[in-house]
A = this chain, B = another copy of it.
Amino acid sequence: MRILGIDPGSNATGYGIVERQPGGIVHVAHGTIRTPSGQSLELRLASLHCELNAAVREYAPERAVVERVFVALNVHSALVLGQARGAILAAIGAAGVPVDELSPGEIKKAVTGSGAAAKVQVQDMVMRLLSLSEPPPQDAADALAAALCRAQMGPLADLDILARSRRGRARSRRRLDPRTSP
């Protein structure tokens, strides 16, 4: 199973693709999408949407994952980050790829063993876990870390997410009733 991790940002958005194989998790690709800060907002968002679209077509992931937003943002940052996430999620949704949200703590813990790890520790562990020759740039490392965290969640999480995206709100009821759970 291929997983696309994304670290959204208004100036730089990192992405990383890993594949879960029977023998382990392997690296497929990673990169950073930069939008020129001199351009108007609508052109930057259109370019972000278009490049994500191209990455989804090229690597054909079956799942995507983004960091859940940390609520301690201020209102302006939340709006700016929201706009980048909107352009990104619209591109992934259009390709029919279900998106999961994981907290920054969950991702760091899965990759480094500590939910409070520093950025550089995440970069270093991503490099080691995926046998890369050098640490990926920070945005791409965060995206690969999210993809790695999702990849190690195993087949049960896949079923859960599939059920959630297909059945919407019916899910929470069904989970309480073992007779109807998937």
Contacts and interface: CB of A to CB of B under 8 A. Distances in A.
A172 interface: no
A93 B47 CA distance: 8
A168 interface: yes
A21 interface: no
A43 B90 CA distance: 7
A44 B86 contact: no
Category for how many chain A residues contact B: 35 or more
A89 interface: yes
A93 B168 contact: no
B98 A38 contact: no
- The binding surface of chain A is classed by DSSP as helix
Contacts of A165: 40, 43
22 contacts: A38-B169, A40-B99, A40-B164, A42-B90, A42-B93, A44-B93, A45-B89, A46-B89, A46-B93, A48-B90, A49-B49, A69-B79, A74-B75, A75-B75, A75-B78, A79-B82, A82-B82, A83-B85, A83-B86, A83-B89, A86-B88, A90-B91
Interface of A: 38-50, 64, 69, 71, 73-76, 78-94, 97-99, 164-165, 168-169
Given A40-B164, A49-B49, A90-B90, 6 more contacts: A42-B64, A42-B89, A45-B86, A49-B91, A78-B78, A82-B86
